[in-house]
Amino acid sequence: MKNLIVLICLLCSLTSFGQKNTNERAKWFTDARFGMFIHWGVYSGAEGYWKGEKLRHDNNYAEWILYRNRIERDEYVTLLDRFRWDEIDPEEWVVLAKNSGMKYITITAKHHDGFGLWDSQVSDYDLGNYTNPKRDIIAEMAEACKKHGIKLCLYYSHWVDWEHPLGWDHTREIYKISESDYDRYWQQKVIPQITELLTKYGEISMLWFDMWIHHSESIVSKDQLLQLKSLIRELQPNCLVNSRLGLSIEEDPDIDYKTLGDNQLGEKKEDFPWQSPATVAHSWGFHSSDSQWKSTTTLLKSLIGNVSLNGNFMLNIGPRANGDVPFEISQRMLEMGKWLQVNGESIYGAEAFDLNKDLHDWGKITCKQDGNSFKLFLHVYNWPLNKLINLTGITATPEKIYLLADTQKSPLSFSHSGAFTQIILPDNEPDPYVSVLVVEYQSKPEIMDGLVAQTSDDGYSLLPGNQNPQPESMKIASPVKHGTVPAHVSADGVTDFSWKIYVDKPGEKRVDVSYSFQGNRNNSQIVLNAAEQSLYHPVHPTGQTVGEPNQNWHIDNFESNEIGTINFLKPGFYTIELSIQPTEADPIKFQWLWIK
């Protein structure tokens, strides 16, 4: 009866499939999932150095060199003399995006330096006035994107403009500017240039703005932002607008999607569209000193992780002044494209599933409805040495399981019990980066919410942070001293923990607990209750250890202790209850419980 009650409490039917807060304009965006960002402008000629001096900031954002290195406007444009205009062909960027599996491109039409990559009639600070014969990179991008079926999106720096005498430059924090003067910039440059961009180049699928703070913290007024958004809706009603316009999704539901911080990946599932802008190294514009390149596997995991939480991933290139894309960037993007040729079904049009994002230790899950079949895509980051995948939390029995890379869809053997599916893998993983399994169901399966999954080696790692529900009053201390002191809960009074697991194979399982206790006596105890059995462990002092040699780095020791075995008589759902019962002033610092 107890297990039946647990089953009823845990069973939860999933909500209707799809990102509920996605408007019609943004449906292409949530289907596309993967896009290219292009940072290219006058700064590309500097390559991160000005008159022998490196960019004055460790983040290596080369596109900020005008501001960081305090360059005069007229001197700055002399960098255009370094450009090899006869070699620059934007179509090559578009082809790279297509071969990399990207569905849209966002290019910096105007970055913070105020310089336009098109022949603007509003300002004389653009390519039309500094190239002979005239070049209009936005026009060339529009033509190439249309030719290759890629959606064109434009980056426009509306808040910051280092060129316009009344634009926002962060030195205005010292040398003030009035709101009325700033509005003159807004009406003289921003509004007319956006009008140009939305009327001269055909369909613009998205305008990507770059105000990384809320308008209330800036000189830009909400009325100005609403004026700009209204203009966009009037000229191109289907053009997406991101939250870095300066209006949050919560403040204005007409904002199409949320933009996270630079290189910030998703942390939780969202029902509205969102996106991470990311780099392969550090700089966005080309910097000749970039060297810490993210691997293809890392970039794929970033893409997959975002999609598994209903997010997009926009990966940047910073071409040189001759149009070349650094080899380290193009190589990784093309490798991602080859992976997507095989595994793209798990990304394009795929969405988050409702199991906890960190439930499984082998990787991430995406899903989609495909005709009469509902598919889960298991992205296996670490091919288990025991050739078994443990899938916890789904009550339905799969119809079929196969490797996405297998064009024959040869079925893999599996077993299913309760809320646990175990899949037998072939000896060799099909992909050196990330392999994908497809788990097909007749319809969207129900889940058991709140379970702790079996690990790849068939154990249960029970932590203060994976209880469900999580006690609101429980304070979990974060790791410190570079992680040598792990996350834990300090129990200075009776402190109770509870987890739910599904046991697929009956039998005895060993129980270990890790804690630190700096007291002297051992009359405190830890009590475990599970499967109508109890274990008692007398707490003993664990002493200290050295975190790093020769650095006076002495820390509390967290020690693993075997406390006995529990006999699970039959398969089923079980509640694991742990009670930390200190009797001294010194707290017991609980780290984890391990059952296997």
Residues 6+ apart with CB under 8 A from 4: none
Q: What is the pLDDT of residues 493-513, one digit of tens each?
A: 999 999 999 999 999 999 999
Average pLDDT over residues 465-469: 92
pLDDT at position 383 over 80: yes
pLDDT digits (tens, 9 = 90+) for 353-372: 999 999 999 999 999 999 99
Residues of the chain by 3-state class (helix, strand, coil), percent to 5:
25, 30, 45
User: Does residue 488 have a pLDDT over 80?
Assistant: yes
Domain range list for the chain: 28-339, 353-448, 460-595
Q: State residue 584's pLDDT score.
A: 77
pLDDT digits (tens, 9 = 90+) for 276-314: 999 999 999 999 999 999 999 999 999 999 999 999 999
Q: Inform me whether the pLDDT recorded for 586 exceeds 90.
A: no
Amino acid making up residue 101: G
Separation of alpha carbons 185 and 200, rounded Å: 22
**CB neighbours of 458 closer than 8 A, spacing ≥ 6?**
390, 596
**Model's pTM, two decimal places?**
0.93
- Mean pLDDT computed over every residue of the chain: 94
| H or E element at residue 352 | strand 351-352
Neighbour count for residue 19 (Cβ, 10 Å): 18
Overall average pLDDT of the 580-590 stretch? 91
**DSSP type of residue 294:** P
15-31 pLDDT, tens digit each: 334 567 889 999 999 99
Cα distance between residue 112 and residue 263, in whole Å: 19
pLDDT at 11 over 50: no
The domain at 28-339 falls in which architecture? Alpha-Beta Barrel (3.20)
User: Model confidence at 443, in pLDDT bands (50, 70, 90)?
Assistant: very high
Confidence at 1, pLDDT banded by 50, 70, 90: very low
- Kindly report, residue by residue over 41-63, the tens digit of the pLDDT: 999 999 999 999 999 999 999 99
CATH for 353-448, among 2.60.40.1180, 3.40.50.970, 2.60.40.1080, 3.30.2350.10? 2.60.40.1180
Task: For domain 460-595, give the fold.
Answer: Jelly Rolls (2.60.120)
Fold match, 28-339 / 353-448: no
Kind and range of the H or E run holding 380: strand 373-380
Read off the pLDDT band of 10 (50, 70, 90): very low
> pLDDT of 133-163, one tens digit each?
999 999 999 999 999 999 999 999 999 999 9
Residues 112, 157: contact at Cβ < 8 Å? yes
pLDDT on residue 3: 46
What sign results for the dihedral spanned by CA atoms 137, 139, 143, 149? positive
Average pLDDT over every residue of 199-226: 96
